[in-house]
Amino acid sequence: MVRANAKVNLFLRVHQRLPGGLHPIEGVFATVSLADRLAIDIRPTPGITLVTEFAFDCPAPENLCSRAAAAFLEAAGRARTGCEIRLDKQIPVFSGLGGGSADAAAVLVALERLHGSPLGQSALEGLAAHLGSDVPFALRGGLAAVRGTGNDVSPLPCRPRLHLLVVKPPCEVSTAWAYSAFDAFPDKAGPGDLEAMTAALAADDPARIAASLHNSFEPVVEARFPAVRLAREQLLWAGALGARLSGSGAAVFGVFASEEAAAEAESRLRAKYPVWRCSLRPAGVELEREGPPA
């Protein structure tokens, strides 16, 4: 069993699109305790099967789990074998929480272990970079500064005790739409202060961390999806020191002064939204007990 942890973007500065179509970013990403779980078995014949109760919009050969498995088997010289992936999906889709990327990273880690570690960490990171911009961070996880197109991941040495509440408003935001809208929308969020965020994290100061939260996508997404702004305001009403959109959304998260404050806010908001109380996790992918998802 492999645990694939979600992430939140404590800081996300998006730069204008490069000629090749990619957008450089600067950010601070944090792995949190909301997670999908996967069980993977090797099959002696070619073929990749994904078993899940979740209905993917993306067909099996093209979703990130299957693409990650195919990339690994090809790179490891195991293309004559296959695998079955059983996925217990808990991270909401179109949420900006990196669930698909976390699942892809979990597939890479699990297959590397099951096949006796033929590739090594460096090769896995190369595969991750080709699968998607969030997959390299998902492979490492923890708390990290992320730059470039997502493949420059630098772990941060601090270990703050963050108390977070994640809320999913009743809408879905496509990442492709968010980038397109960002290109046409003035960045009213401003550049933010990345140095202030890293200093606040090092000081383990919830109030300073909350004051330094930043997301370039937020004004774009809230202009199109008022429900996102309302959910963020509801978190502040419930006692969050600060609240921001995660990734391109639609999920928002709040930073709280204590576990008790986060628990009280959860009790206030659970009747209105799907809500998850989260803490930081040390890794993006964690090995758990053997067996199928519960």
- Give me the active site residues, please: 7, 134
229: exposed, middle or buried (C-beta count within 10 Å: 0-12, 13-18, 19+)?
Answer: middle
275-278 and 2-14 strand pairing = unpaired
For residues 139 and 105, the answer to whether their CB atoms sit within 8 Å is: yes
Q: Is 23 exposed, middle or buried (0-12, 13-18, 19+ CB in 10 A)?
A: middle
- Burial of 59 per CB tally in 10 Å (0-12, 13-18, 19+): exposed
CA distance 257 to 217: 25
| CA 245-150-195 angle, 5° bins | 65
**Both tokens assigned to 73:** 């088997």
* Whole-angstrom distance, CA of residue 94 vs CA of residue 111: 26
Order across the sheet with 252-256: list the strands. Answer: 242-245, 252-256, 163-167, 275-278
* Residue from 144, 147, 141 nearest 158 by CA: 144
Q: 97-128 burial, b if ≥16 CB within 10 A, otherwise e?
A: bbbbbbbbbbbbbbbbeebeeebeeeebbebb
